[in-house]
Amino acid sequence: MTHDFPFADLALARRIERAEGHANAAFVHARALVSPSSGAMSLDVGGTYALFDGVHSPLTQTFGLGVLETPSAPLLETLEAFFREHGATVLHEVSPAVDPSVLALLSLRGYHPIELTSILFQPIWATPVTINSDVSVRRMRDDEADHWAEIAASGWSESPEIVDFVRSMGQVSARAKDTYSFLAESQGAPIATGSLHLHEGVALLAGASTIPSARRRGAQNALLSARLAFAHAHGCDLAVMGALPGSASQRNAERNGFRIAYTRTKWELSA
């Protein structure tokens, strides 16, 4: 049976952007619990999630600007004040599905684009992923958050400058509400990680990491299949992920049935 993809329109963007905002707000809440001194916090301002996870965190920005309502100058002033009060750069992730007046307003206020992200999606029931029988996947146990983070960090051992960062992010992500962490194992040994955040029928995929010695053995395909099955069992009909445009991650997602919904732009307010 063939299932059609939903149209890549504003209605889809609303679901995706709100789900990602919810996922990152859950992460920030977990950060506040794990590290109260971080000052981590989130606000939902007119349908836009404003997140502070530390001055240098990639989560310190907004999600969903313009998808529920077209922002006004006063709304942007409120958001800008939130980040300035925390000493952080003002950043907004913006879907191209929003009203074009949003882009005009950002330009008028001195913002400029600095980054692009491909947002990919597929119906949960799309073509099954091929799985290597040598790899098994299981949910992380509640007492394995730090272990999961260690395996995720090991996948970046070839880039030692970011290993500690990945480990720190993983320790928080594995404890975030509505986020489910998975381990891929081969012969009883963990070789890869993946995570999943569920929100109003949307399954947001993240946390993909494979230790260098276990690459090209189908671990991420197995993790993808297990997460999609889990999401379907929990009432989700849409899977979403983000990737750098033209990257290996984007190509792998497209090989596994994902399509590009749109390319999102990150806007930075000039100092």
Quote the distance between the C-alpha of residue 271 and its chain's center.
27
Share of the chain above pLDDT 90, in %: 86
pLDDT for position 1 = 41
Q: How far is CA 42 from CA 26, 75, 164, 167, in A?
A: 9, 15, 24, 22
String of b and e for 6-16 (b: at least 16 CB within 10 Å)? Answer: eebeeebbbbb
Give DSSP secondary structure letters for 29-44: HHHHHH-GGG--EEEE
pLDDT band at 129 (very low <50, low <70, confident <90, very high): low
Find, among 205, 180, 198, 194, the residue nearest to 152 by Cα: 194
Share of the chain above pLDDT 70, in %: 96
Q: Structural domains in the chain? A: 10-119+264-269 (3.40.630), 126-236 (3.40.630.30)
Find, among 102, 100, 190, 99, the residue nearest to 144 by Cα: 190
Q: Is 64:94 a contact under the CB 8 Å cutoff?
A: no
pTM for the whole thing? Answer: 0.92
Q: Is 133:166 a contact under the CB 8 Å cutoff?
A: no
**C-alpha–C-alpha distance, residues 144 and 168, integer Å:** 14
pLDDT for position 171 = 95
Q: Is 242:205 a contact under the CB 8 Å cutoff?
A: no
Find, among 178, 196, 238, 207, the residue nearest to 3 by Cα: 238
Quote the distance between the C-alpha of residue 185 and its chain's center.
23
Over the chain, what is the mean pLDDT?
Answer: 93
Strand 111-123's sheet: what is its strand order? 41-45, 48-52, 61-63, 91-94, 259-269, 111-123, 238-243, 202-210, 189-199, 179-186, 136-139
The sign of the torsion formed by the CA atoms of 137, 232, 9, 108 equals negative
What digits encode the pLDDT tens for the residues 186-226? 988 999 999 999 999 999 999 999 999 988 888 999 999 99
